Structure 1
Amino acid sequence: MQVKKFVVLTVLFILPIVAYLFFASGVNNFGKLPILTNGVDDVAHIGTAKVSFKDKITVVGFLGKNLDNKAGNAFNLNQKIYKRFYKFKDFQFVMLVPKGTEDMVASLESELGHLVDMKKWNFVFADDAQITDFFASLKTDISLDENLGTPYVFIIDKDLNLRGRENDEDDGTKYGFDSTSVAELNNKMEDDIKIILAEYRLALKKNNADRAK
C-alpha cells in the first residue's frame, strides 16, 4: 500500500517538477537561435523607410512587383505569424516593395486589415537597385525572382543580425522560411520566433538582476 502511494505521489507531484526543470534548462542552455549573417543593412537607410531594425525583432519580406502572386503568402504570414506575435512590444514586420506598387500595397493592406490591427506591418518602397543591394546584405542561398520578390521571409534580430537554423532537418542551413507553406510557418518559423523572444526576455531578466546586486 505504501509503495502504491509513493508511485501515485511521484506521478502527481515529482514528475511535473522534473519536466519543468528539464524544459526550463533547455530554454536557458539551448534556446538561442543561431546568427547566420552578422550586421545586415538597416532598412532605415532604404527608400521611404520610416522604420529601423535596431532594437526590434523583425520579420523581413520581399513582395516584388506582382503583389497578386504574393497575396496568399502575405495572408499566411498575417494569420500564422503576425497575429501570434504582433502584440509583443519589440516585434514588427517589414516588407520591401519596388516603387510603383503603392496602389497594390494599399489594396493588400486593406484586405489584411480586416483580420487584424496592421500597426506593426511596415511597407518600404524602394528603387530596384536598393532592394537588390539590401537583399545581398543578407548573404543567403536564396535569390530574388525577376520581379524582385521571394516567398521566403527572414528574421532579423535587434542588433541587425540574420537569425536562422544551422542544422535544419530539411534544409541544413536555413536562412529563411517559405511563406507558401503553412506547415513551415507553424512548425518552424513560429518556434524560432518564440526562441528569440525568450532569449531577449532572459537577457533582460539577467541584466535587471545584475543591476539589483
Structure 2
Amino acid sequence: MKKTFVLVVLFILPIVAYLFFASGINNFGKLPTLTENIGDIANIDDNVILQDKITILGFLGSDLENKKGIAFNLNQKIYKRFYEFNDFQFVMIVPKGNESKVAALKSELGNLADVAKWKFAYGDKEQIQRFFNELKTDLALDENLATPYVFIIDKDRNLRGRTNDEDEGTKFGFDATSVAELNNKMEDDVKIILAEYRLTLKKNNASR
C-alpha cells in the first residue's frame, strides 16, 4: 500500500497537474477583449494591414535612437519566440520622414533574427494620434508620438489585454522597457491568443 501511494505521489500527481494546467491554457484560457473593431492601419499606410493578422502593435515615434532598447527587448523576448506562427506580425508606427532610421533599425534587428514579420507603418501626426485614440486606453503618446507600451490586436482588429491584472486591474498594453513584464505577462498572453486560434482552427478542420 505504501509503495502504491509513493508511486502515485511521485509519478501520477505531476502528470495530472501538468494536464490540468495545460488544458487550462489551451482549452479554457481566453484573453479579454478591451476595445472592439479598431481602425485598420491600412487607412494610414496601405502597405500594412491588421485584418486577419495577430499583431503586436507599437508606436516607436520619431526618436528611434532612444527606442532601440524597446525594439531589441521585443525582438529577443517576444518576436523570436513566436514569429514562425502563421498570421503573426509586429507592426510599429512611426511618423513619415523616418524611413532611413527604420531601415537602420531593421538592419540591426536582422543580425539577431529574420525580420520579415517586422512591419513599419508611416503616418502624419494627426493620423497617428487618431489611430492611437481608437485603442481607447488609459495611456498617452509623448511629444514624439511614441509610447513604451505595445498592444495585442487580434484578427478581427480587437484590442486584447487583461481585466484583472494583479498590478493594474485593466491592462491595455505591456511596457516593453521591462524585460520582467515581457517575460512574466506578455509572453503568457501571446501564448493564450495563439492557443485560441489553434483551437479554433482544429475545430474548423474537424467539422469539415
Which AA in structure 2 matches 1:132? Q
Give me the identity figure in percent: 72
Amino acid at match of 1:44: A
What residue ranges of structure 2 are gaps of 5+ in the alignment? Answer: none
Q: Which among 43, 57, 67 is matched to residue 45 of structure 1? A: 43
What is the aligned counterpart of 1:184 among 162, 181, 184? Answer: 181
Q: Which residue of 2 aligns with 1:136?
A: 133
Could you give the per-residue CA deviations for residues 79-132 of structure 1, whole angstroms, max 9, x where no partner exists? 111111111111100000000111111111111111111000001111111111
C-alpha distance in 2 between matches for 1:21 and 1:153: 31
Over aligned residues, Cα RMSD in angstroms? 1.3
- Structure 1 residue identity aligned to 2:9: V
Q: What TM-score do you get using the length of structure 1 for normalisation?
A: 0.93
Q: CA deviation at 1:20?
A: 3.5
The equivalences for 1:54-203 within 5 A come to 54-203=51-200
Per-residue CA distance 1:22-46 (angstroms, 9 max, x = gap):
1244125541000000001111221
Could you say which structure has the larger radius of gyration? 1
Q: Which residue of 1 aligns with 2:24?
A: 26
Task: Kindly tell me the number of residue pairs found equivalent between the two proteins.
Answer: 208
Following superposition, the deviation at residue 51 of structure 1 comes to 2.2
1:129 & 1:164 partners in 2: Cα distance?
A: 26
Partner of 2:7, secondary structure, is helix
TM-score (norm: length of structure 2): 0.95
Whole-Å separation in 1 of the counterparts to 2:147 and 2:153: 16
SS of the residue 1:70 aligns to: helix
- Structure 1 CA distance for aligned equivalents of residues 174 and 18 of structure 2: 30
- Cα distance in 1 between the residues matched to 2:58 and 2:193: 18
Distance 2:30 2:78 in 1: 19
Measure the CA separation in 1 of the matches of 2:19 and 2:181: 29
Give the conservation status (yes or no) of the 8 Å contact 2:78–2:187: yes
